[in-house]
Amino acid sequence: MKTYNLAFKYRIYPNETQANTINQTFGCIRLVYSRFLAQRKELYETEKKSVTYNTQAKELVPLKFELPFLKEVDSIALQQSLKNLETAYKNFFQKRTIKKS
């Protein structure tokens, strides 16, 4: 029996409001990722310790009060950026990163 792998390509054409929402979400994701990455780097450099995803997820709530525009985007996207950071950090310390030449 033959198996086939099928793929579908989709292209979306968001209107102006949707495009603004998408751009705002990506901007907030970058901000959260960068801010918590800097926190992890600083803690590792000073104390040789690391923070977990759960700790940083709890810190995300007060950050939303400090930066109210974070409340306007999807909270799941912000949490996923923290999970991506956790994965990247684990991969780095387990030597599973790709070296650029």
Give tens-digit pLDDT for 55-88.
999 999 999 999 999 999 999 999 999 999 999 8
Sorted by where each begins, the domain ranges of the chain are: 34-91
The alpha carbon torsion through 87, 90, 94, 97 (nearest 10 deg) reads 50
pTM: 0.81
**pLDDT tier, 18 (very low <50, low <70, confident <90, very high otherwise):** very high
Would you say 85 and 33 are in contact if contact means Cβ atoms under 8 Å apart? yes
